[in-house]
Amino acid sequence: DKKERKKERKKKERKKERKKERKKERKKERAK
């Protein structure tokens, strides 16, 4: 199903974004 595939892709994209955010947070922690 195309709709399901789109949902899965969005989930994956969100996971990638979260990883990026976590990296940024870690950099901030290191700066302290």
Tell whether pTM > 0.85: no
Share of the chain above pLDDT 70, in %: 97
Residue 31 has what pLDDT? 82
Amino acid 14 reads R
- As a whole number of angstroms, the distance between CA 25 and CA 32 comes to 11
H or E stretch at 22? helix 2-31
Amino acid 25 reads E
Quickly state the pLDDT bin for 3 (edges 50, 70, 90). Answer: very high
pLDDT of 16 above 80 = yes
